[in-house]
Structure formats: structure tokens, C-alpha cells
Amino acid sequence: MKLTRRNALALGGAAIAITLVPVNAAFAATDATLADIAAFTGGAEVGEGGIELTTPEIAENGNTVPIEFSAPGARRVIILADGNPNPGVATFNFSEMAVSEGTTRIRLAGTQDVVAVAEMADGTYTQVANSVKVTIGGCGG
Amino acid sequence: MAKARVKVPKSATAGEVVTIKALIDHKMDSGQAKDKAGNLIPRKIINAFSATFDGVEVMNVILEPAVSTNPYFKFSFKVPATGDLVFKWVDDDGTVTEAKKTITVK
């Protein structure tokens, strides 16, 4: 292919599209986090939407960071801290009596993404990730 | 003995969604922290929490060391009828702490 002006523009456009997609589709999760998500979903595809995660933008003390999630209709929700030595935080199982939401306090080793993955009633999975800036880490090192 | 505190409304209307708060005093040693001599403090956490209404489980949580000291949970559920909510926390050493609250449907 000869590099004409038209081809160059097309290539440039494609390159921009490629760099934009990952930003929208996923966060940069570590292998340990991805493994935990895969263990939770059984390797099923994870979509987006239907789950809300509320975290502070800046947490002064990583030892106790309040988090809150709401995933209407979800049967199970797993919370993962992407930047901790072990990403697992907690797994919530809800019966039909329960409203699929919860609030708790978690430890974060440093600035990182907090991820929530939900298994919905129809067996599909959905996830959300929030970035939390941590001033003092919470692993007592 | 770990001290548990729960907040449950005393009464509700049938089908009402009520908010439950549950907290237990526990150090939640993560197994990552070191003592003053530089030795790792072994992991000792509450590893499971559950809420049961008249024998039927409402929700449960599996906890990892990344849950903060004095684990706190807030959740909601639909009250079907008058009954007892039983909360249960399980320690790594096998100790089980329970708390019971009655909700009366008017």
C-alpha cells in the first residue's frame, strides 16, 4: 500500500479509535484481580451498567474506607481492591428477601481502583470500578 | 469475646424495606501487618457474616483481610412478617458470635 495522504489519515483515525476503546471498556486491572473476577464469574463475559459503587474520591486513612454499592436484582456481589496485596475484599450473597445493596468499610494499601462485580438474577455479570486516592495506606507496613 | 452491636427497627409494616446495621468489635489482623519487633502478626479475622430471618437466610458476606477493623455492614431487606433476625459472625478460630433482634409487624 502506498502511503498517500488519504491512507495516512485513515490509519491515524484507526489508531485513535484503538487507543480510545480500552479506556471506555475496562480499567487496567492486575492479573490477580482478573483471576479473582474470573473465579467469581466462571469465565463468563462481564458487562457494564446495573451496578453502582460509591467510594470517596480521596481517602485520608486507608485503614477504613467507606464503600457502598447498589446492584438491583443481583444475587452475588464481589468487592475487589485492585492495588492490595490480595485483591479480595468481600463477597455478598443476597436472598430474595434482601435488597441487593450493601455498605461496609475496607482497607486500601494505596491509591488504586476498587472494583465491584455483580451476578444478576439472569446469570449475567456486570462490573464497575472507581479510583480512590489514598493518603495513608492501610496495610500496617 | 467479641462484642456485637446491631441496629434493627423494632416494628415495621408488612413488606416494608428496613435498613439493618451490624458491627462487631474485632481487630481483623490481616496477616500483613508487623508488630514492634518486626514479626508478622498472624491472620485472625472474622471470615463470615450472615443474617437469617426466622431460619431463612437473608444475606451473607464472606470477608477477606481487606475488611476494616470492627467490620461494619449496612444492608436492607423486606420484612415479610413478625419474626426474629439472627446475626452470626464466624471468627478464624471458630468462635461464633450471635445476636438476635425481633421485628414486629403491625
Q: What is the ipTM of this complex?
A: 0.92
Q: Where are the domains of chain A?
A: 25-134
Mean pLDDT over all residues of chain B?
93
Residue of B nearest to A104 (CA): B73
Question: Out of B33, B66, B80, whose CB is closest to A88?
Answer: B66
* pLDDT per position as a tens digit, B30-65: 888 888 898 999 999 999 999 999 999 999 999 999
Angle at Cα A39 formed by Cα A126 and Cα A97, nearest 5°?
A: 55
Those residues whose C-beta lies under 8 Å from the C-beta of residue B38, and which sit 6 or more positions away, are: none
Q: Is the pLDDT of residue B68 over 90?
A: yes
Find out whether A84 and A112 touch, Cβ atoms under 8 Å. yes
Of the pLDDT bands very low, low, confident and very high (cuts 50, 70, 90), residue A15 is low
Q: Is the pLDDT of residue A22 over 50?
A: no
Q: Which CATH class, in words, describes the domain spanning A25-134?
A: mainly beta
- Quick check: helix, strand or coil at residue A26? coil
- CB contact under 8 Å between B30 and A107, yes or no, is yes
- CB contact under 8 Å between A84 and B66, yes or no, is yes
Burial of A34 (0-12, 13-18, 19+ CB in 10 A): middle
Domains, chain B, with CATH or none: 3-30+42-105 (2.60.40.10)
- Quick check: helix, strand or coil at residue B31? coil
- CB contact under 8 Å between B63 and A90, yes or no, is yes
Residue B32 backbone class (left: φ over 0; alpha: ψ -120 to 50; beta: rest): alpha
Find out whether A50 and A71 touch, Cβ atoms under 8 Å. yes
Chain B CB contacts of A76 below 8 Å: none
